[in-house]
Amino acid sequence: MRTLAVLITALFLLVPVAGSADYSDGLHAYLQGHYEQAYKEFKALASEGDPQAQYILGSMYATGKGVLQNYVKAHAWFNIAASRGHDKAAAYREKISGKMTSEQTAKAQQLASEWSSGDTAEKKAKAPPEEKAKSRKEMITSIQKHLEELGYYEGSIDGLMGPNTSSSIREYQQEQDLQVSGNPSQALLQHLQKTVAEKPVTELPAAIPTGPWTKVLLHDAFSDGDYTSNPSWTRVSGDFHVDENHYLRSARQIPEAQQTSKKDGGQQSAVQVLGKVVKEVMDQQQGSRESAKFSEIYTQQDLGRAFALRIELKLVTDKPGQAFEVGVFTGQNRDSGYLLRYSQQDQQSLALIRYKPSGSSVIDVARQKGLLSGRTVRAITWLRYKDGTMKVLVDDEPVLSSKDRMYDAFRGVRFLNHGGEYAVAGISVFGPAGS
What are the chain's domains?
2-122 (1.25.40.10), 127-197 (1.10.101), 213-432 (2.60.120.560)
Residue 263, pLDDT > 50, answer no
Confidence of residue 395 (pLDDT cuts 50, 70, 90): confident
The pLDDT of residue 126: 47
The pLDDT of residue 286: 47
Percent of all residues in the chain with a pLDDT value above 90, rounded to a whole number: 28
Residue 170, pLDDT > 50, answer yes
Cβ–Cβ contacts within 10 Å for residue 31, how many? 11
Residue 400, pLDDT > 90, answer yes
The candidate with the shortest Cα–Cα distance to 274, out of 394, 363, 374, is 363
The pLDDT of residue 100: 85
Between the CA atoms of 174, 179, 181 and 186, what dihedral angle is there, to the nearest 10 degrees? Answer: -110
Confidence of residue 252 (pLDDT cuts 50, 70, 90): very high
Residue 339, pLDDT > 90, answer yes
The model carries a pTM of 0.54
Q: Contacts from 98-102 at CB under 8 Å and sequence distance 24+?
A: 99/1, 99/4, 99/71, 99/226, 99/228, 100/71, 100/72, 100/75, 101/239, 101/240, 101/241
Of 10 and 431, more confident: 431
The pLDDT of residue 374: 67
Question: How many CA atoms, within 13 angstroms, populate the side-chain half-sphere of residue 126?
Answer: 5
Cβ(340)–Cβ(278) below 8 Å: no
**Mean pLDDT over the full length of the chain:** 79
Give strand pairing partners of 426. Answer: 312
To 5 degrees, how large is the angle CA 21–CA 6–CA 60? 45
Percent of all residues in the chain with a pLDDT value above 70, rounded to a whole number: 77
Of 282 and 150, more confident: 150
Residue 323, pLDDT > 80, answer yes
Residue 296, pLDDT > 90, answer yes
Exposed/middle/buried for residue 55 (C-beta within 10 Å: 0-12, 13-18, 19+): buried
Q: Which range in 65-74, 190-199, 327-336, 374-383 is most confidently predicted, on average pLDDT?
A: 327-336
Question: What Rg, from alpha-carbon coordinates, does the chain have?
Answer: 24
The pLDDT of residue 1: 47
Confidence of residue 399 (pLDDT cuts 50, 70, 90): very high
Confidence of residue 43 (pLDDT cuts 50, 70, 90): confident
Q: What is the mean pLDDT of residues 14-33?
A: 59
Interatomic CA distance for residues 403 and 361, integer angstroms: 13
The pLDDT of residue 410: 95
Residue 122, pLDDT > 50, answer no
Buried b (16+ CB within 10 A) or exposed e, 108-121: beebbeebbeeeee
Residue 351, pLDDT > 80, answer yes
Q: Which range in 2-6, 125-129, 278-282, 426-430 is most confidently predicted, on average pLDDT?
A: 426-430
Q: What is the mean pLDDT of residues 356-364?
A: 89
